[in-house]
């Protein structure tokens, strides 16, 4: 049966089918093919997004999502293990390359640069072969680190005048401002919006006490620690985000906040902690190594060899 390519926001049934597809690929490859944000975006109809679905009959066997919210645009794609090596991945990639050039959300005339980076989670052999065949190569690596937890993991001492407290809804504006400054150069985290924050609050894993702010006796927060525990895998907790105001960096606050996150995860009964860090963030990589984190896996972003940055 000939595959059909559909472009457009998925309805609820299609979104569910995409999640089922992603689960099948994860079972075959040992790593999820889609990260958190694209899965959240299945609920979103945005001018910055392209959703491309490949069907064979009634079955969803391929999916790609293009996000033009930053330059370069980014994409993630997945093909069902039973339907690989039939050109579906190439079709989805060509669609992503084309749609990376669509106009900006504002509708201003002209086109974006057209640069596109495609995520390959875990960079499994199937992804490596696919990239090599098309002449794409890694241009960014995101390292997944892990560390054992124990009851000995305890809260750190913060400098006098600073305390850690649970974030409240009326802290949203201050948190968004802090996050945007702490991650001004980060292509994903620095773009977090109120809608993104609200979407995470709606997730099954969200707990109010998971997001905590480091605050002075008076004044705006200087940092934050956000932890995450997936209810389906409660033995593993994630240091989801650690952020420090650029003006307060160099004081060891990021390290202390990470330790606070580890202590919270241990107190919740987790036996393993994981986190994600860009490979070129040498300071963070050094900090996490000193805290006992080891490499688990690496996600990469791919780009055409001729346009490698």
Average pLDDT on 195-207 reads 96
- Known binding residues for acetyl-CoA are 77-79, 85-90, 242-244, 249-255, 281-286
- Known binding residues are 36, 77-79, 85-90, 188, 228, 238, 242-244, 249-255, 276, 281-286
Sorted by sequence, the CB contacts under 8 Å of residue 152 that are 6+ apart come out as: none
Q: How confident is the model at residue 103 (pLDDT cuts 50, 70, 90)?
A: low
- Identify whether residues 129 and 152 lie together within a single domain: no
In a domain, 272, yes or no: yes
User: Which of 80, 112, 134 is the last residue in one of the domains?
Assistant: 134
The beta-strand segments (E) located in 149-271 are 162-166, 211-216, 223-229, 236-244
- Identify whether residues 44 and 189 lie together within a single domain: no
Average pLDDT on 18-24 reads 98
Q: How far apart are CA 180 and CA 214, in angstroms?
A: 16
On whether the CB atoms of residues 63 and 153 are closer than 8 A, the answer is: no
Domain that holds residue 58: 4-134
DSSP state of 170: G
pLDDT, tens digit (0-9, with 9 covering 90-100), for 242-295: 999 999 999 999 999 999 999 999 999 999 999 999 999 999 999 999 999 999
Total domains present in the chain = 2
Q: Output the pLDDT for position 44.
A: 85
- Identify whether residues 189 and 168 lie together within a single domain: yes
- pLDDT of 29 over the 60 cut: yes
From the list 235, 290, 233, the residue with the least C-alpha distance to 268 is: 235
pTM beyond 0.95: the answer is no
Share of the chain above pLDDT 70, in %: 95
Q: What are residue 53's DSSP bridge partners? A: 6, 63
User: Which of 134, 165, 192 is the last residue in one of the domains?
Assistant: 134
Q: Output the pLDDT for position 231.
A: 97
User: Which of 70, 102, 134 is the last residue in one of the domains?
Assistant: 134
Average pLDDT on 71-87 reads 94
């Amino acid at each position: 049966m000939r595959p059909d390519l559909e472009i457009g926001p998925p309805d609820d049934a299609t979104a569910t089918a995409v999640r089922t597809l992603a689960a099948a690929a994860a079972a075959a490859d040992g790593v999820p093919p889609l990260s958190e944000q694209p899965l959240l975006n299945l609920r979103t109809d945005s001018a910055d997004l392209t959703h491309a679905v490949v069907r064979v009959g009634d079955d969803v066997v391929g999916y790609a999502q293009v996000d033009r919210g930053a330059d370069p645009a980014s994409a993630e794609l997945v093909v069902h293990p039973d339907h690989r090596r039939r050109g579906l991945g190439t079709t989805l990639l060509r669609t992503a390359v084309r749609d990376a050039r669509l106009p900006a959300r504002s509708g201003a005339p002209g086109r974006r640069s057209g640069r596109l980076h495609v995520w390959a989670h875990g960079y499994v052999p199937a992804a490596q072969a696919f990239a090599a065949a098309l002449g794409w190569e890694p241009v960014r690596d995101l390292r997944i680190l892990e560390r054992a937890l124990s009851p000995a993991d305890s809260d750190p001492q913060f400098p006098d005048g600073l305390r850690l407290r649970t974030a409240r809804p009326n802290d949203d504006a201050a948190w968004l401002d802090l996050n945007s400054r702490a991650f001004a150069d980060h292509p994903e985290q620095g773009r977090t919006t109120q809608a993104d924050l609200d979407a995470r609050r709606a997730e099954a894993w969200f707990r109010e006490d998971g997001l905590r702010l480091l605050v002075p006796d008076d004044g705006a927060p200087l940092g934050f620690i956000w932890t995450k525990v997936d209810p389906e895998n409660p033995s593993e907790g994630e240091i989801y985000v650690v952020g420090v105001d650029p003006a307060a960096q160099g004081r060891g606050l990021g390290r202390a906040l990470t330790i606070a996150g580890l202590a919270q995860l241990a107190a919740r009964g987790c036996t393993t902690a994981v986190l994600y860090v860009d490979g070129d963030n040498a300071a963070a990589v050094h900090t996490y190594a000193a805290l006992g984190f080891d490499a688990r896996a690496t996600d990469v972003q791919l780009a055409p060899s001729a346009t490698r940055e």
